[in-house]
Structure 1
Amino acid sequence: GTERTIFVVGDKKQSIYSFQGADLTEFDGMHAHFTAKFAAVGRAMEAMELQHSFRSAEAILRVVDLTFDDRVNRGLGGAPKHLAFHVDKPGRVDLWDPVPKPDTAEPKNWYDPVDILPDAHEHVVLARKIATRIRQMIDTGTSILEKGRPRRVHEGDFLILVQRRGPLFSEIIRACKVAGLEIAGADRLKLGAELAVKDLAALLNFLALQEDDLSLAAALRSPLFGWSEAQLYDLAHNRGDRVYLWQALRNREDAFAPTIAILDDLRDWADFLRPYELLERILTRHGGRRHLLARLGPEAEDGIDALLAQALAYERTEVPSLTGFLVWMQTDEVEVKRRLDSASRAIRVMTVHGAKGLEAPVVILPDTAKRADLVRDEIYMTGQGIALWKTPAAESPALIADLREDLKERQRQERMRLLYVAMTRAESWLIVCAAGDTGAGDDSWHALVAAAMDKAGAATAPAAGGDWDFGPGKRFELGAWPAPIPSAQTDAIRFADTLPTPGRWLADPAPEPPEPGAALSPSALGGAKALPGEAGLDEEEAKRRGTMIHLLLEHLPLSPRAEWPAIANALLSIEEDATSAEIETVLAEAAAVLESRALAAILPRALREVELTAALPELDGRRVHGTVDLLLIEPARVLAIDYKSNAIVPDHPGAVPDGILRQMGAYAAMLGQIYPGRAIETAILWTRTGELMAIDPDIVRAALRSTTTA
C-alpha cells in the first residue's frame, strides 16, 4: 500500500507561548512516541536541523551563540550553533550601559497625574535616549546594506521589542513622537485606558443623557472644553437642589456662551448622526482633536484613531445609534490589536511575543533589566493531576514549594527562549540597552549579553578614546560597515536656488475641467426594437409588461420556488399596480423561463444585473453605461444575456431588430475592454418562448458601427 508520511516542523528555541498551552515536554513526548512507532516497524525517525540563518548577519549570530552558554541554554534544548547564510553581510551589536535609577526621587506637585513618570525616571531617560539616537542616525545618513547596496536608514528599519507593555513601552512611544519620528504606535491598545478616549466617552455619555452630571463635569474639565477646577466648582456649587448641571450651565448662558454653543450643536445632531460622524464633528468641526493633542501629547492620537475605527466597526455589524455604541463599547474592555507593517516606514514598538516571525534591519531591546520571577497561578497542578491552592511562601509545605520553584524554573527557561527570539529578529544591527538594575550572571538579559560581548572580544571604546556615538558601552562588529550617506535635502535646497521665477500661470486660476458628457444607454442607440408585426400593439402596455417580467426574473431566482407567487404579488401589486390576472400571466411566463433547459446550466453560475461603463471608440469615444441581465464569466469566454419580452419573436438571429442588435453590440464592446483576450459572446433570451438565441459577434459589431451619436 501507499506509505504514509509524518512531517513535523518545530523549533524548541522559539517556544514562547506557554500561556497559550505550548509545552516543550509534550513536544518531546510526541517525538519519542513517533520514534517508537517507527522503530516497531523497522523504520527510522529522521531528525533534521536547519543551522543556516537567512536573516541575521554573522556578528549578531556569534553574540547569540555566546549568550546561551551551558548555564542558560537549558531552556533551548542545548547551546545553539548558527551559520550565517550571508557570510559577507556586515553586522553590528551595540550594548549600552544601563541607565541607573535616580538617587533621590523628584518631589511631585500634588496636582500631577499619578501615572506620569518624572523626567529623571530611568524609563523616561532611556526612552528619550533611544528616540534621540534614532533621530541622529536618520539625520546623519547612517546607512545599511540592502541587496548588496548601501542606503540611508529610515524609521521603518527600526523594531523596538519589550518583554511587556509597561511604563517603558509607553515612554518610548511618547519620546519618539516628541522627536518627530514616524511611529506606528502600540501593537495592542486598551481603548478604555486611553485618556483621550475617556474624555470623548464622557461627552458622548452626556449627549445620550443630559441628566448625567458626572459625565458633563468630566467633559468640561477635559481638553475638549478646557475648564479649570475653579470654573467647575463655581458652576456646580450652590446650584440648588435637584438642579442638573446642564440646567445650571444653561442658566448662565452669558458667562459660558462658547461652551453652550458647542453642546447645543452636538445635542441637535446626536440623534441624527452615526457615532462615527458625531465623533468626527467633535474632533474636526469643534477642534476636539487639536485640543486633545495639545494637552495630552501626540501619543493621544493612537487612542483617538482607534476609537474612530471601533465606531466604524460597530456600524458595520449593528444598527447605529449613540446609546447602542456606548453599550457596545462598555460590554467588554475593548483591546485593539493592530498589525504593524514594516512597509509603512514607521518605527514599530511591540512585545517580543508579537514580533514572532517578524524581522528588521535594526532591532532595539530596551527592556533587559533584572526581572523578578513571579508565579501568578493561584492553583498548582501536581504530576498526578491533583489541584492545590497556592499558599504564602513562608507557610508552604515542601510539595507546594517544589511546585512553585518548578514553575519559576519554567518561567526562566521561557524567558531565555524569549531573549533568543528577540535577538534573532535583527538583520544587520542589534542594540541592547536597559533602565534600572541589571544584576549579574543570568539575572537579566543585559547581563547575559554583556558576558557574551566580552567573550566575543567586543570593543569598549573607539580607538581614539571617548565614548561611542551612543555613549558609554560596548560594540562588536564584523564586516565593512557602509559609510554614512549625505542627506539629499542639501542637494534639493541647492537645486531650488536655480529654479526659474514662475510666470503668470502661477497666479491665474486653473481652468474649469470639462464636463463629462452624459453617458449613452445601450438601449437608446436608435434602431427598431420590435418586428413590424408588433406595430399595432399598445407600446406603453408592452413596456409595462416587459418591466414586470424583468422584475420577476431579477428577484425570483433568489427565493425557493414555493415562494414565487407571494413574491410576485408583493412586487407587482406595489411597483406596477398590477391586477391578479396580470400577475398570474407574467409569473407563468417568468417561471417558464427560469425553469427552461436553456438556463438550467447558466443561471446558477451567472451574475445578475451587472452594470457596465466604458468609452467606446465605435461611438467616437462616447461613454456608455448599461446593465446586463445575466453575465457568465468563464476562463476562455464571457457570455452576456439580455431578456426581451417582445410579443413577436424572430425566427433567426438575422431577423432580430436593429436596435436590439446595437444594444448587444455595445455590451460586447464594453466587455471586450474589460476582458481582453477572451471570446465575447452575446445572446437574447426571449421570454415569450423561453428560447435562448445566440447572436453572431460579427452581426452585433456591424450593428454597433452603424450607430450615429450625432
Structure 2
Amino acid sequence: MIRRDDATEAQVRAADPGLSTWLSANAGSGKTRVLTDRVARLLLQGVRPEKILCLTYTKAAASEMQNRLFARLGGWAMRPDDALRRDLAELGEDGPFPTDRLNKARRLFATAIEAPGGLKIQTIHSFCATLLRRFPLEAGVSPQFHEMEDRAAALLRVEVVEALASGPDAPRVTDVARGLSEDGFDDICTEVLAHRAGLIPPADPATIRGWFGVPPNQTADAILQDTLRPGDMTLLHALVGVFGNSGSNDQKAARALGRITQLDAGAIATLEAVFLFKGGKTPGAAKIGTLPMKSTRDAMDPALLDRLNDWMRAVEDGKARRIALHAADRTIALHQFAEVFVPAYDAAKLRRGVLDFDDLIDRARALLNDRDVAEWVLYRLDGGIDHILVDEAQDTSPRQWDVVDRLALEITSGQGTAEDRPRTLFVVGDKKQSIYSFQGADPGAFDRMQEQFGAQLAHGPTPLQDATLEYSFRSAPVILDLVDATFRGREASGFAGRGSHKAFHAAMPGRVEMWPLVPKPDKIDDPAFEDPVDVVRHEDAPAVLARRIALELRRMIDTRTPIAVFDRDRGQWSSRPMTPGDVLILVQSRGPIFDEIIRALKAANVPTAGTDRLKVSAELAVRDLRALLTVLATPEDDLALATVLKSPLFGWDEQRLYTLAHHRKDPFLWQSLRTAPAAEAETTLLLDLMRQADFQRPFDLIERALTRHDGRRKLLSRLGLEAEDGINALLAQALAYEQGEIPSLTGFLAWMETDDDKIKRQISQNADQVRVMSVHGAKGLEAPVVILPDTTPKKDEIKGNVVTDAGRVLWKTRAAETPETVATALADAKARQNAERDRLLYVAMTRAEQRLIVCAAGELGKEGKGWYDIIRRGMEERGATIEPFAFADGEGGAGLALDGTPWPAIVDIPPPAATQQDALPGWAHQVAPPPAPAPGSRSPSDLGGAKALPGEDGQDVEAAMAFGSIVHRLLEHLPALPRDTHRDAARDLLAEAERPLLDAAMRHVDACLDAPDLAPLFAADALVEVPVTAPLAELDASILGVIDRLVIDDTRVLAVDFKSNATVPATIDAVPDGLLRQMGAYAAALAQIFPDRRIDTALVWTATGEIQMLPHNMVMDALSRAAHLDQAAPAP
C-alpha cells in the first residue's frame, strides 16, 4: 500500500469517482490535477467518455485539462507493467492490478480519442451552443446560427436604435437620450441587455415611483408650489436686509438672494445653494442653527427666524422630493426604453440567425426550463451524461448555475439511476478567487449552490461530500504566511477568519520585499505644447518606478540571482540563475504604468513578451495599413497618403515629404506624387493596388500589399515581430467582415471605424521573456518572481449607468442629485467592488512562487485602502524588518522585507551546444541608445547683455516694457488702416491704456510711418510678427521668438526689430550688446531657413523713426558671447 502525504491524500480523496464532491481549493493546491485524476479514474471504472461532461470557465483551461488528460492516458499506453501499476496506485486506485486491468488502462487513450464527439471538456458557452444546435427547433433558434462577435453586435445595436428612433417608439429613445452624453447611447444599450432579467418585463411607472418614495401623481410643479409659498418674496427682502448687516458669509448669502427678482423654478438653485449644506456630514440638509451667524440670529425677530427656518426646511424637503422625482423619471424612461429595445434587438438577431454569448446561456436555460420540452431534452441528455464536473465554480454566474442545476437534475433527484450506473456531481472552486463580477460572477452563489446541491443529494446514493485543499504546491511558506496575515479579518470578502494556507514545500526558499514608495514629484515643469495631454513624462512617478523595476531586473539577471529548484530524485533544493522568463509583473489595470514598464524593460535590454492585450485599431502596423486602404478608396485624402508615405511601407522622411508637398501646383498630394520623377516606385505600387481595389475583397487587397509588395517584411523590420499579431488580427477582421457583409473597400473602412476590439495575445510560459499582464489575465499562471507595481488606491466609483438594488434596476443620477434609493444601491455596489479588489489582490499575491516584490508610485491616500497599505499591515504583523534598499537607478530608501529559507548555492548547468549559427549581426541584438533629450528653448530677447543705453538705467523697467508693448501693438495693426482712422483705432485697440501714455505711443508710431526709409517695412508684402524657431549650435539650444517685421525678396531677407528706447544710439558701436545678441539669434535662425539668401538685420528706433542696419559679423560675434551668460553683463 502506498503511503501518501496529507496533501496528496486530500487530492486522492477529492478525485474519488464514486462520490459527489464540493471541493474548495486554495490557490496553487492542484485542482487541475484533481479534475484530471477524477476523469482518468472514471474512465478506468468503465465510464464511456461521452457520458462525462467537464465545464470549465475558459477555453485555455479546457485545453490545459484536455492536454494533461491525453498526456496521462498516452503515457499509460506505453508504460511497463510495474511502472503502470505504480501510477494507478498513486492515482488512488485499489489493487490488485492483473494484466487485463493494465491492458484496459493502456487502451483508454484510444477510447478517449475515438469517442463520438470526443471528450466533453468545454466552456459552458461552448456546451450551450452544442445543446442549442442539437435541439434548435425546441430552442427556437436557427440550426445554422452562429455566434455574433462584439463588433457585429455593436453595429446591430446602432441599427436597432436608429430604427426605433424613426418609428412610433421615438419618444422612448428621446427620453433616454436626454440623460446621456453624445457617445453614451451604446453604453446604455449594452447595460440594458446585461440587466435584461430585471428590465423585461419592465416595472410599471407607479411601482418605480414607489421605489423612490414618490407619490403616483407627484409633479415638479407641485413640489415647486410647496417650496415657494405666498409671502416668501417679502420674507426674501427681509432676509437680504438682515444678512447684509451680518458677517462676511451672511453678506455673501445676501448678495445671492438679492439677485432673485422672481420666485420661480429659476430661483430654486440659488435658494438651495444658500439654505442647504453643500457637503460635510449632512449634505443637502438645511442650515438651521448656522444661518445666519449666531450673533445675528440672537438679534433677529423670533418670528422672522421661525419663518426662515420653516422656509429652509421646505427647500430641504423640496430638493429631496425633486431629486427623487427626477431619479424615478429617469428609471421609468430606462424601463420603457428596454421594453421596446430588447425585443427589437432579439428580433433583429433572429432574422440574421445570430446569437450573442449571453443568448447562448439564456436560450439553453430557457430550453431546460420549458415545461413543454424540458423533459424530452433531459430524457435525451439522461442517456448522455452521468458525471458532471464544474471547474472555477466561483466565477459561475447565477444564470449559468441554472443551466448546471437543470443538467444535474437527474443526478440530484436520484431518479433514472440504475444500480450499476452511479452518477456523480463534482464542483471545484475557490470563493477567494472570484474576480469576474463584470461577467456576472457572484461569489455568494458559490455558497448557495453548495447548500442547494448538498440538500438535494443528502438522501441519494452519493451524498455531497465537502472537501478542502489547503496545501499549496506553488508558493514558499513566507509568502503563504503573508497571505494569511494580509487577509485576516476580511471575512466579508470571502476569506476565512483564520489562516488557511499550508505550504507543501516547507523548505522552499522565499522572500517578500516592499520597496519604498516612489512619491509624486513636488513640481513638474509645464509640458511642451506639442505633447499629448496624457503623456507620461520622464519625471512622473510611474515612469520613475518603471525604470527602477527594469534596471533592478537587469541587475538581478546579471548578478545571477538564485531561483530554487527541487530535485525530486535527491529530495533536496538547489538553485539556478534567474532568467527573464522567471518574472511576472502584474497590474490592476492597463494604465500608464503598464505601458511605461514595457517601454522601460525594452530600454534596459530585458526581454519582454509585450502587452497581453492588443487593441487592434491602435497598432501602428494596422494604422499604416488602414491609411493605405483609405488612399486606395480616396486618393484625394492627403493626410492618409502622407501617412502611408512616411510609414515603413515606403519609408519617406519629413524632408522628402515636405519637398513633395510644399509649393506644389496640384491641389492634391496624389497628383503631385504621380508626376514626381523620384517617386516612380511608389506610384507604381499604389496604382497596382488601386486597379485591384474595385475587384478584390479587402482581405485580398491587404494580402497583396503584404506579400506581393513586401509590406509584411517592411513593417516587421521597422516595428518588430510584435507587429505581426496586429497584422494577423487585421487579416482576421477582414475575413470576418466578408462573412457577414457584402465585401467592399469603403464598407470595410466604415466597419473598421467601429473597432474597439482587443484580442488576447497568447504569451508562452516557456518563452524566456518577462511577462507583463493584468491580474485578471494572469489567473491560473505562476512565476518564481512576481512584482506588483500597481498598488496605489483606485477611485472608489461605480462605472456605468445602471445599478441594482435587491433585483431592481435603477438608472444612476449625478452625484449631487442622488436619492437615498440610488445611494443605497451605490453603497452596496461599492462594498462588493472593494471585496472583489481584495480577492484580486489575493490572486495577485498567490501567483508568486519564491519572490514577491511590492512597490508603488504616486500617492497612497489617507485611508489605507490601497494594496500597498494592505500588504504593509500584513508584513508588519508577520514581523517584517526595515531594510535599506539601494536600487540600480542610483536611488534608495527604507522598505520592508520578510525572509524565509535562504537559497542554496547555484549549480551551473552547461548550455546545450548551438545547433546553428545566428544569422543576425550583433547589432541586431542590441537595444538602440535612447534619443538625446530635445534641447531647451530660449528667447532671443533673454540671452543676457545690456538692453539699455547709458543714462536709461535709472528708468522704471516695468513702465518701459509696458510702453514698448503698446508701441509694438500699434505698429502691428495700424499701418494696414487709413491714417485718418489711427487715433480712433488706437483707442479701440488699447481701451485700457491711459490717454497720456497712448498719445506718447502714437508719436512713436507717427515718426515711423512718416519716415521714407521705413516705407518698405510697412508695405503689403512685408510680414508682421513672424514666429521663428530653430536649433542653434552656438547656444546648444533652440530659440523661439517673434520678429517684428520680415521683408523677403529673391536674394535677401531683412529682419527688423522695433525698439522704443528713450535714448537712441548715435553710432552702431553704441548699440547695447543684449540687442545685438537678439538680432544675431534671428540671423542664425533665418540662415537655416533661407540658406540661399543674404540675411540682414536692422533696428528701428521708434522715438525718431531711424533705422540702423547691423553688420552681420557684429551680431554673430554678439551671439557667440551669449553662450557664456555667466560672463555677460546683466540686463538692467
Q: Note whether the superposition's TM-score is higher than 0.5.
A: yes
How does the TM-score come out when normalised to structure 2?
Answer: 0.39
Q: Which moved more, 1:121-130 or 1:105-114?
A: 105-114
**1:235 pairs with 2:657:** no
Q: Deviation at 1:267?
A: 3.1
Question: Which SS does the other structure have where 1:49 is aligned?
Answer: strand
Q: Is 1:261 the counterpart of 2:681 in the alignment?
A: yes
Residues 291-690 of structure 1 correspond to what in structure 2 (within 5 A)? Answer: 291=718, 293=719, 302-311=722-731, 314=734, 326=749, 329-330=752-753, 332-383=755-806, 385-439=807-861, 442-461=864-883, 467=886, 471-472=892-893, 473-483=895-905
CA offsets, 1:621-675, max 9 Å, x none? xxxxxxxxxxxxxxxxxxxxxxxxxxxxxxxxxxxxxxxxxxxxxxxxxxxxxxx
More deviation in 68-77 or 415-424? 68-77
Deviation of 1:440 after TM superposition, in Å, equals 5.3
Q: Cα distance 1:76–1:110, how it changes in 2: closer, same or farther (>3 A)?
A: same
| Secondary structure class of the residue paired with 2:798 | coil
The match for 1:170 among 595, 605, 618 is 595
1:158/1:361 contact within 8 Å kept: yes
**Residue 626 of structure 2 is aligned to residue 212 of structure 1:** no
Quick one: distance in 2 between partners of 1:107 and 1:233? 34
- Percent identity, aligned pairs only? 45
Change (3 A) 1:394 1:91: same
Q: Which residue of 2 aligns with 1:532?
A: none
Q: Distance in 2 between matches of 1:483 and 1:127?
A: 30
- Correspondence 1:276 to 2:276: no
Residue 327 of structure 1 deviates from its aligned partner by 6.1
Q: Contact 1:143 / 1:485 at 8 angstroms: preserved in 2?
A: no
Alignment partner, residue 646 of structure 1: none
Letter in 1 for 2:668: Y
- Could you tell me how far apart the structure 1 residues matched to 2:868 and 2:485 are? 13
* 1:182, distance to aligned residue in structure 2 (A): 1.7
- 3-state SS of the aligned residue for 1:350? strand
Instruction: Give 1:210 deviation, angstroms.
Output: 2.1
Q: Does 1:192 align with 2:612?
A: no
Q: Deviations over 1:142-199 (max 9, x none)?
A: 1201223311111111111111111111111111112222211111110112344323
* CA-to-aligned-CA distance 1:560-611 (integer Å, 9 cap, x gap): xxxxxxxxxxxxxxxxxxxxxxxxxxxxxxxxxxxxxxxxxxxxxxxxxxxx
Q: Structure 1 residues 247, 67: closer, same or farther in 2, change over 3 A?
A: same
Task: Pick from 602, 607, 619 the counterpart of residue 182 of structure 1.
Answer: 607
Aligned residue for 2:488?
A: 69
- Tell me if structure 2 keeps the 8 A contact 1:173–1:349: yes
- Which ranges in structure 2 are unaligned for 5 or more consecutive residues? 1-417, 567-572, 914-1132
Separation in structure 2 between the aligned mates of residue 133 and residue 49 of structure 1, nearest angstrom: 39
- Give secondary structure in 2 for the equivalent of 1:6: strand
The residue number in structure 2 matching 1:250 is 674
CA contact (8 A) 1:161 1:352 kept: yes
**1:217 CA displacement:** 3.2
- 2:469 aligned with 1:50, yes or no? yes
For residue 189 of structure 1, give the secondary structure of its aligned residue in structure 2: strand
| Range 342-351 or range 330-339, more displaced | 330-339
Q: Deviations over 1:412-446 (max 9, x none)?
A: 00000000000001111111111111235641001
Q: 1:280 to 1:41 in 2, by over 3 A?
A: closer
Pick from 501, 521, 530: which aligns with 1:102? 521
Deviates more, 1:57-66 or 1:215-224: 215-224
- Letter of the 1:264 partner, please give it: T
Q: Work out whether residues 360 and 426 of structure 1, in 8 Å CA contact, stay in contact via their aligned partners in 2.
A: yes
Q: How has the CA–CA distance of structure 1 residues 67 and 237 changed in structure 2, closer, same or farther, with 3 Å as cutoff?
A: farther
Amino acid at match of 1:275: I
- Contact 1:140–1:486 (8 Å) recurs in 2: no
Write the distance in 1 (CA, Å) between the matches of 2:835 and 2:449. 20
Q: Deviations over 1:219-272 (max 9, x none)?
A: 3455654554995598267746xx332013334x14xx25x5324334325638
Contact 1:236 1:248 in 2 (8 A): no
State the structure with bigger RCO (CA 8 A, min sep 6), 1 or 2. Answer: 1
Q: Secondary structure at the match of 2:849?
A: strand
The alpha carbon displacement at 1:12 in A equals 0.3
Distance in 2 between the 1:452 and 1:167 partners?
Answer: 27
Q: Which has the larger radius of gyration?
A: 2
Counterparts of 2:733 and 2:607, CA distance in 1 = 26
Residue 326 of structure 1 deviates from its aligned partner by: 4.9
Q: What is the rounded CA distance, in whole Å, between the counterparts of 2:611 and 2:452 in structure 1?
A: 42
Q: One-letter code of the match for 2:631?
A: F
Q: Is the 8 A contact 1:132 1:179 kept in 2?
A: yes
Q: Residue 307 of structure 1 aligns to which amino acid in structure 2?
A: I
SS of the counterpart of 1:407? helix
* Contact 2:511 2:899 (C-alpha < 8 Å) held by counterparts: yes
Structure 2 vs 1, CA of residues 200 and 280 (structure 1 numbering), >3 Å: closer, same or farther?
A: same
Q: Distance in 2 between matches of 1:483 and 1:94?
A: 21
Alignment of 1:123-142 (within 5 A): 123-142=542-561
- Contact 2:793–2:865 at 8 Å: present in 1 too? yes
Distance 1:468 1:169 in 2: 20
The answer to which structure has the higher helix fraction is: 2
Q: Secondary structure at the match of 1:461?
A: strand
Q: Deviations over 1:85-135 (max 9, x none)?
A: 001110111111121111112322222344431100111111111111111
Aligned to 1:354, the other structure's residue is in SS state coil
Give the SS at the match of 1:409: helix
| Distance (whole Å) between structure 2 residues aligned to residue 77 and residue 485 of structure 1 | 40
Note closer, same or farther for the CA distance 1:222–1:93 as it changes in structure 2 (3 Å cut).
same
* Contact 2:576–2:908 (CA under 8 A) maintained in structure 1: no
- Give the secondary structure class of the aligned counterpart of 2:897: strand
Q: Which amino acid aligns with 1:117?
A: V
Is the contact between residue 366 and residue 434 of structure 1 (CA under 8 Å) also seen in structure 2? yes
- The alpha carbon displacement at 1:33 in A equals 2.1
Report the aligned-residue RMSD. 3.5
SS at structure 1 position matched to 2:643: helix
Question: Structure 2 vs 1, CA of residues 440 and 432 (structure 1 numbering), >3 Å: closer, same or farther?
Answer: farther
Do 2:563 and 2:578's aligned partners in 1 also have CA atoms closer than 8 Å? yes
1: CA distance, partners of 2:480 / 2:713:
54
* Contact 2:582-2:784 within 8 A present in 1 as well: yes
Call closer, same or farther: CA 1:460–1:469 in 2, change over 3 Å.
farther
